Structure 1
Amino acid sequence: MARTTPPRPVDIASVFPELAPLARQAVRLHPRPGEPTVHESSVGGPLLWPADDEWPVCTKEHHHYGDLPVSLDDVRQSRALIEAAWLRPRAPREDLLSPDQRAYLDELETGHPPHPGPNALLPVAQLYLRDIPGLAGPEGTDLLQVLWCPLDHDEGMPAAHLVWRDSGSVGKLLADPPEPVDVDHYGNYVPEACVLHPEVVTEYPAPHELPEELAERLNDWGREQWAEEDPDEEFSPGSAYYQYEHSVAPGWKVGGWGPWSFCDPWPMHCDVCKATYQPLLTVSSGEWDGGSGSWIPLEDREEPSAPVGLRKPSDPPMVQIGRGYNMQIYICPASFDHPHLENMQ
Structure 2
Amino acid sequence: MPRTTPPRPVDIASVFPELAPLARQAVRLHPRPGTPTAHESSIGGPLLWPAEEAWPVCAKEHYHGRVLPVSLDDVRQRRALLEAAWLRRTSLHEPLLSAEERAVLARLQAGHPKHSEPIALLPVAQFYVRDIPGLAGPEGRDLLQILWCPNDHSGGLPSAHLVWRDSGSVGKLLTDPPEPADVEHYGHYVPEPCVLHPEIVTEYPLDLPEELLERLDDWGRGVWAADDPDEQWSPGSAYYQYEHSVAPGWKVGGWAPWSFCDPWPMHCETCNAEYQPLLTVSSGEWDGGSGSWIPLEDREAPTGPVGLRRPSDPPMVQIGRGYDMQIYVCPTSFDHPHFENMQ
Fold similarity call, TM over 0.5: yes
Q: Distance in 2 between matches of 1:305 and 1:142?
A: 40
Q: How does 1:44-83 map to 2 (within 5 A)?
A: 44-83=44-83
Q: Of 296, 301, 304, which residue of structure 2 is paired with 1:303?
A: 301
Q: How does 1:295-334 map to 2 (within 5 A)?
A: 295-334=293-332
Residue 94 in 1 paired to residue 87 in 2? no
Residue 286 in 1 paired to residue 284 in 2? yes
The farther-off stretch of 260-269 and 14-23 is 260-269
Q: Distance in 2 between matches of 1:217 and 1:291?
A: 21
Look up the equivalent residue of 1:220 and give its one-letter code: D
Q: Distance in 2 between matches of 1:91 and 1:263?
A: 41
Mark the runs of 5 or more structure 2 residues left unpaired by the alignment. none
Q: Distance in 1 between matches of 2:296 and 2:184?
A: 34
CA deviations 1:150-181 (Å, max 9, x no partner) are 00000100000000000000000001100000
Q: Distance in 2 between matches of 1:152 and 1:229?
A: 43
Partner of 1:17: 17
CA drift of 1:195 comes to 0.1
Look up the equivalent residue of 1:274 and give its one-letter code: N
Q: Distance in 2 between matches of 1:92 and 1:123?
A: 36
CA drift of 1:318 comes to 0.2
Partner of 1:244: 242
Q: Distance in 1 between matches of 2:257 and 2:99?
A: 43
CA drift of 1:305 comes to 1.4
Inter-CA distance 110–232: structure 2 relative to 1 (3 Å threshold): same
CA drift of 1:266 comes to 1.2
Q: Distance in 2 between matches of 1:235 and 1:252?
A: 29
Please say if residues 278 and 327 of structure 2, whose CA atoms lie closer than 8 Å, have aligned partners that are also in contact.
yes
Q: Secondary structure at the match of 1:338?
A: coil
Inter-CA distance 6–235: structure 2 relative to 1 (3 Å threshold): same
Q: Distance in 2 between matches of 1:64 and 1:92?
A: 33
Partner of 1:338: 336
CA drift of 1:94 comes to 1.2
CA deviations 1:313-333 (Å, max 9, x no partner) are 000000000000000000000
Look up the equivalent residue of 2:22 and give its one-letter code: L
Residue 148 in 1 paired to residue 145 in 2? no
Look up the equivalent residue of 2:184 and give its one-letter code: D
Q: TM-score with structure 2 length normalisation?
A: 0.99
Partner of 1:230: 228
Partner of 2:108: 108
Q: Distance in 1 between matches of 2:137 and 2:92?
A: 55
Q: Distance in 1 between matches of 2:10 and 2:69?
A: 47
Q: Distance in 2 between matches of 1:61 and 1:229?
A: 51
Q: Distance in 2 between matches of 1:9 and 1:93?
A: 41
Partner of 2:216: 218
Q: Distance in 1 between matches of 2:240 and 2:94?
A: 44
Partner of 1:139: 139
Partner of 1:199: 199
CA drift of 1:307 comes to 1.1
Q: Distance in 2 between matches of 1:188 and 1:91?
A: 27
Please say if residues 250 and 285 of structure 2, whose CA atoms lie closer than 8 Å, have aligned partners that are also in contact.
yes
Q: Distance in 1 between matches of 2:91 and 2:241?
A: 43
Number of aligned residue pairs: give it: 343
Q: How does 1:26-41 map to 2 (within 5 A)?
A: 26-41=26-41
CA drift of 1:90 comes to 3.5
Please say if residues 89 and 96 of structure 2, whose CA atoms lie closer than 8 Å, have aligned partners that are also in contact.
no
RMSD of aligned Cα (Å): 0.7
Inter-CA distance 85–17: structure 2 relative to 1 (3 Å threshold): same
Residue 176 in 1 paired to residue 190 in 2? no
Q: Distance in 1 between matches of 2:88 and 2:108?
A: 21
Please say if residues 69 and 184 of structure 2, whose CA atoms lie closer than 8 Å, have aligned partners that are also in contact.
yes
Mark the runs of 5 or more structure 1 residues left unpaired by the alignment. none
CA drift of 1:288 comes to 0.1
Q: Secondary structure at the match of 1:342?
A: strand
Q: Distance in 1 between matches of 2:197 and 2:91?
A: 38
CA deviations 1:291-319 (Å, max 9, x no partner) are 00000000000011121111000000000
Partner of 1:258: 256
Look up the equivalent residue of 1:265 and give its one-letter code: P
Which stretches of structure 1, 4 residues or more, deviate above 4 A after TM superposition?
none
Q: Distance in 1 between matches of 2:60 and 2:157?
A: 13
